[in-house]
């Protein structure tokens, strides 16, 4: 064979191999990001965030890279200045954004951190458009809702997918269809559906109420909700129906007929005991299969969700209970401490226990009633917060935990309360306080951070986001994390006053975690106590279903060991 013939054979073989490799590399890739929009109708608080997170979990389990973003229709720039009674917990991302609490659900389900790009508010949209107008970017044109506001909404939606190369971006639109505030977002979705075609899917979540008096499930509210969406130019592709009872096939067919939706795309979301059951229920209903089919993406084999189901099995089969007192001033509203509650559930489950959370209103807690209010608590967690209301009650709770050797966990302000209580009752520094509560105190054991002293604006100006912390070996924190270097998220303006540190450590409360750059005290412990830890950061934000937070795991384990005489 000639050299030329040999060379041609080599080239031919090389081309074949290269072609084969390219096919393998591109087999599971997606040329264009797909977008799923989740809207809600009939009533608020139906669980769009949980449905979004559940779908994302299922798609992720199938091998797709997925993220979720929340579009909130209020005019605040972010929820950082909102009262928890108005909006529930303010969730903080690693990059320091104060966001909607649904981002916590996204992270807990996906086990992937979110960022400020995952939460957009109307306030942020308008701020961006007005800033562009002031710079002259619109070249003298009249700035209007359409196209300028809707264009900015579309830009924010598409930015997340193009910037991070996600296969699927799920966008949850806050509010309810028909709300004036949501109209620009629905219009943006209408335009995107027209522009992207099969790369988009709209899921509409509604309620099918059960009327006990007549013994009927009523579909009319759903029909009216879809009609309102159609009037705004958007035809839903999939309907997810929240219900207390199983929906018979005839009801699904009726809804499909009157709402112009395939009958197989009418999905029921029946009430369940735990939000973590929803992904399994949605898989049983075939939600992920239908979404992939409509997006023209490879469906493949259904995921087994082994780890997820193992967690659910432990959650449902735990026979023993551990009782934790959650002390705070917003305990009447469960969503105010949502991440803490979920972190406690994660930790208790992995410790083979159910957690019984006793919500204790700190505003009503006194020295006289504390023993009764905290009776039977195997662990006491003092929650974060701001302001004077309920502050004295938190100090009472700290004192009760310390004096009675009950496992204590203080988070953010809870940690600061521990420091103040110790100063008053152990160091004998009369009326020691935080400058937040009393700017004239003679003993400011908690002081305003140096870089906060010239700040006057309240929104987005705290110490926010993830920071390094170095942990001392031999401490409770070190035993929990099993490492000397960690990163945790912060949201505060005040800090431990290190001028008093030597006196604290001489009397039994020590610093076991500090920021390596600023020497800020991040963790305090009382070694002689059974389990007494205060942290300036928010560990609850880093607890997920498949990765419970180590400090919560350690706290629950200590609480389980507490036994009371019956």
Which has more confidence, 59 or 163? 59
What confidence score (pLDDT) does residue 437 get? 93
Structure-block tokens of residue 278: 């929803």
User: What is residue 475's DSSP assignment?
Assistant: S
Query: Is 561's pLDDT higher than 60?
Result: yes
Q: Residue 176 — left, alpha, or beta (φ > 0 → left; ψ -120 to 50 → alpha)?
A: beta
**Alpha helices, H only, 34-171:** 48-61, 84-87, 102-110, 122-135, 150-164
* Res 255 pLDDT > 50: yes
- Catalytic, 172? Answer no
Question: Which pLDDT belongs to residue 42?
Answer: 87
For residue 244, indicate whether it is catalytic: no
**Residue 24, pLDDT above cutoff 90:** no
Paired residues of 489 in beta bridges: 466
What is the pLDDT at residue 565? Answer: 60
b/e per residue, 496-523, with b = 16+ CB within 10 A?
bbeebbeebeeeebbbbbbbeebebbbb
pLDDT at 10: 43
Catalytic position from the list 259, 412, 417, 469: 412
Q: Each residue of 376-420: pLDDT tens digit?
A: 999 999 999 988 899 999 999 999 999 999 999 999 999 999 999
CB 147 within 8 A of CB 166: no
Quickly state the pLDDT bin for 21 (edges 50, 70, 90): very low
When comparing pLDDT for 286 and 300, which is higher? 286
Instruction: Give yes or no for residue 263 having a pLDDT over 80.
Output: yes
Please state, in angstroms and rounded to a whole number, the distance separating the CA atoms of residues 66 and 172.
13
pLDDT at position 173 over 70: yes
d(CA 520, CA 507) in angstroms, rounded, equals 20
- The residues, ordered by sequence, that sit 6+ positions from 224 with a Cβ below 8 Å of its Cβ are 42
How far is C-alpha 353 from the geometric centre of its chain's CA atoms?
23
Among 341, 335, 370, smallest CA distance to 356 is for 341
**Contact of 558 with 531, CB cutoff 8 Å:** yes
Mean pLDDT of all residues in 4-26:
44
Contact 526, 443 (CB under 8 A): no
- Report the share of the chain in percent with pLDDT over 70: 94
Per-residue pLDDT band at 25 (split at 50, 70, 90): very low
Q: Quickly list H helices, 232-305.
A: 249-259, 278-285, 287-294
503 belongs to the catalytic site? no
Q: Report how far residue 227's alpha carbon sits from residue 208's, in angstroms, rounded to the nearest whole number.
A: 15
Average pLDDT, the chain: 90
451 cis-preceded (ω within 30 degrees of 0): no
227 or 452: whose pLDDT is higher?
227
Please pick, among 98, 172, 525, 540, the residue that the annotation labels catalytic. 540
pLDDT band for position 13 (cuts 50, 70, 90)? very low
> Tell me, what's the pLDDT at 284?
95
**25-34, 230-239, 349-358, 483-492: lowest mean pLDDT where?**
25-34
DSSP state of 554: H
The residue assigned the tokens 């991040």 is: 522
Structure confidence by residue, pLDDT tens digits, 44-53: 888 999 999 9
Question: Coil, helix or strand for 447?
Answer: strand
Structure confidence by residue, pLDDT tens digits, 276-292? 999 999 999 999 999 99
Take residue 218 and report the two structure tokens written for it.
């009523």
Residue 68: name the closest of 78, 53, 87, 79 by CA. Answer: 53
pLDDT recorded at residue 160: 83
């Amino acid at each position: 064979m000639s050299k030329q013939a040999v060379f041609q054979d080599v080239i031919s073989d090389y081309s074949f191999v290269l072609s084969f490799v390219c096919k393998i590399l591109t087999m599971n890739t997606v040329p264009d990001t797909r977008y799923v929009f989740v809207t809600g109708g009939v009533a608020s608080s139906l669980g769009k965030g949980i449905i979004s997170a559940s779908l994302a979990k299922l798609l992720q389990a199938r091998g797709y890279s997925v993220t979720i973003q929340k579009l909130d229709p209020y005019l605040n720039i972010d929820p950082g200045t909102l009262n928890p009674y108005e909006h529930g917990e303010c969730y903080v991302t690693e990059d320091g954004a104060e966001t909607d609490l649904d981002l916590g659900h996204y992270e807990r389900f996906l086990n992937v951190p979110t960022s400020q790009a995952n939460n957009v508010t109307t306030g942020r949209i308008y701020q961006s458009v007005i800033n562009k107008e002031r710079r002259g970017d619109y070249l003298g044109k009249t700035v209007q809702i359409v196209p300028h506001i809707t264009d900015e909404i579309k830009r924010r939606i598409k930015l997340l997918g193009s910037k991070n190369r996600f296969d699927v971006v799920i966008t949850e639109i806050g509010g309810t269809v028909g709300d004036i505030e949501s109209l620009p977002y629905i219009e943006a979705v209408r335009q995107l559906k027209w522009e992207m075609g099969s790369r988009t899917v709209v899921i509409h979540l509604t309620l099918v109420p059960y009327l006990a008096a007549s013994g009927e499930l009523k579909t009319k509210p759903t029909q009216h909700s879809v009609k309102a969406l159609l009037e705004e130019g958007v035809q839903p592709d999939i309907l997810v129906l929240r219900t207390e009872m199983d929906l018979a096939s005839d009801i699904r067919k009726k809804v499909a007929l009157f709402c112009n939706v395939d009958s197989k795309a009418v999905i029921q979301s029946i009430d369940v005991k735990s939000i973590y059951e929803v992904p399994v229920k949605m898989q049983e209903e075939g939600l992920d299969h239908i979404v992939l089919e409509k997006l023209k993406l490879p469906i493949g084999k259904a995921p087994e969700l082994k780890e997820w189901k193992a967690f659910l099995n432990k959650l449902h089969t735990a026979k023993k209970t551990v009782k934790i007192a959650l002390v705070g001033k917003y305990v009447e509203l469960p969503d105010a401490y949502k991440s803490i509650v979920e972190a406690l559930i994660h930790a208790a489950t992995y410790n083979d226990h159910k957690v019984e959370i006793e919500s204790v209103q700190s505003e009503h807690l006194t020295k006289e009633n504390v023993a009764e209010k905290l009776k039977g608590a195997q662990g006491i967690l003092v929650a974060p917060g701001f302001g004077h209301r309920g502050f004295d009650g938190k100090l009472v709770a700290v004192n009760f935990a310390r004096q009675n050797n009950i496992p204590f966990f203080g988070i953010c302000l809870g940690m600061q309360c521990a420091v103040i209580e110790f100063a008053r009752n152990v160091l004998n520094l009369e009326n020691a306080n935080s400058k937040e509560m009393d700017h004239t105190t003679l003993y400011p054991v908690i002081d305003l951070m140096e870089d906060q002293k010239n700040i006057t604006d309240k929104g987005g100006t705290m110490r926010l986001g993830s920071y390094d912390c170095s942990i001392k070996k031999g401490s409770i924190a070190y035993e929990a994390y099993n490492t000397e270097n960690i990163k945790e998220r912060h949201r505060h303006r005040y800090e431990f006053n290190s001028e008093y540190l030597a006196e604290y450590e001489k009397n039994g409360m020590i610093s076991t975690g500090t920021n390596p750059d600023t020497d800020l005290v991040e963790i305090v412990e009382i070694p002689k106590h059974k389990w007494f830890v205060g942290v300036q950061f928010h560990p609850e934000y880093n607890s997920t279903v498949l990765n419970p937070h180590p400090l919560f795991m350690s706290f629950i384990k200590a609480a389980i060991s507490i036994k009371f005489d019956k």
